[in-house]
Amino acid sequence: MHLVANVHMFPHPNPRWDHRAGAEMFMYRLLDEFCKRGHTATVIVNNQKIEPDWLGHIRLLPVQDNAEEFVKADVLLTHLDYSQHTMDLATFWNKPCVHIVHNHTSVDRFQLWRKSDLFVFAANWLLAECKDRVAGYHCTVCYPQVPVLEYRSKTPLSERNAVLLSNLNENKGGDLLQFVAHELPDVKFIGIQGAYGDQRFSAQRLPNVELVPHTPDVQQYYDRARVVWIPSRYESFGMVAAEALHANIPVACTATPGLLECVGLEGAYLVPLDKRDFLNYWIPQLQTLMTDDRQWHHWSNRAAARSLQIQAIMKADCERTLTQIEQVVVRHRQSKGHYHGSS
């Protein structure tokens, strides 16, 4: 089977064009597993000025002159801003269309029901939120695939000296960094700028805050982190949280539906979103995790236990989703009257 993904941005082997945010890494890792089943995949990248290349087994092409790819495709895959464009292409070329849904507003905002043969939701809570709008459609849930070995670290606790906040836009709580770091002048903070949104850290620099430009090489910062802090207002699932769990680093995060689904009830220190004194909840907890080794080991062990749980879920979700994508192609071939078995 040949799959064509039509997207705005995608990871790239050339650092000049690389773009690694949660949604893009979700699609890359799913396509990588698709290719491991013996299929082929091409990604049409619309908003990056890339040159043709390969990322592992995945072919990357710029947007120009790719009609031939859509002709050859057995199924189209898309998400986010190029959902509507891909639905139009699927209708024009008579191809089945699969949507990855990363937030609960996408179904209505992009009118995804116009052309959908399968909805792939990034978390169970997203499917629950959208169940009335997708009733009667084929749907599945697939947690983002986060490889454990990429994030496991042997750095001893004695060399971990920072609170890590990845992505500084407002949805991720980046606007809180200035205030919390100011209140904890003896605590080192690392703030990594994200790929999306206005990065909200003030221009007024604090001596205990290290600002890092957007980078695909996050492992070096996990190796330095004693705590991963995720004060998000919205997360579909929380790839950073999953990475931290796999690294067995204590996680302090807000109890958004997505983060709660990722870390579970006992995998991280949780702060309710609706607390009026939201800001001051973080200060004593971060201070404790940065200074109390017993508490650190307690939450590190909880992170490790939750990591084992979600590893199993991620693997099962991926297998089920890939099988359902294959079934989309089979149904489409049968509907056209020329099914010849899998390929």
Q: pLDDT value at position 272?
A: 86
Angle CA(59)–CA(62)–CA(63) in degrees, nearest 5?
120
- Six token digits for residue 307: 């990591």
Tell me the chain's radius of gyration from C-alpha atoms. Answer: 21
Separation CA 92–CA 85 (nearest Å):
11
- Output the CA angle 132-136-142, nearest 5 degrees: 80
Compute CA distances 261 → 60, 117, 211, 258, whole Å.
32, 26, 29, 5
- For the chain, list the domains and their CATH numbers: 2-142 (3.40.50.2000), 148-307 (3.40.50.2000)
Determine the Cα–Cα distance for residues 251 and 255; give it in Å rounded to an integer: 12
| 35 exposure class (CB count in 10 Å sphere: 0-12, 13-18, 19+) | middle
pLDDT at res. 340: 42
Please, is 255 exposed, middle or buried when counting C-beta atoms within 10 Å of its C-beta (0-12, 13-18, 19+)?
middle
Among residues 99, 109, 279, 67, which one has the least CA distance to residue 181? 279
CA distance 194 to 199: 7
pTM: 0.92
Per-residue pLDDT in tens (0 to 9) along the chain, 343 residues: 999 999 999 988 777 777 778 899 999 999 999 999 999 999 999 998 888 999 999 999 999 868 899 999 999 999 998 999 999 999 999 999 999 999 988 888 888 888 999 999 999 999 999 999 999 999 999 999 999 878 888 899 999 999 999 999 988 999 899 899 999 999 999 999 987 777 777 656 899 999 999 888 889 999 999 999 999 999 999 999 999 999 999 999 999 999 999 999 999 999 888 765 667 789 999 999 999 999 999 999 999 999 999 999 999 999 999 999 999 999 999 997 654 443 4
Asked whether the beta carbons of 124 and 140 are under 8 A apart, the reply is no
pLDDT of residue 343: 44
How many CB atoms neighbour CB 179 within 10 A?
A: 14
Cα(176)–Cα(271) distance, integer angstroms: 14
Q: Which residue type, as a one-letter code, is found at position 317?
A: D
What's the first-to-final CA gap in the chain, in angstroms?
5
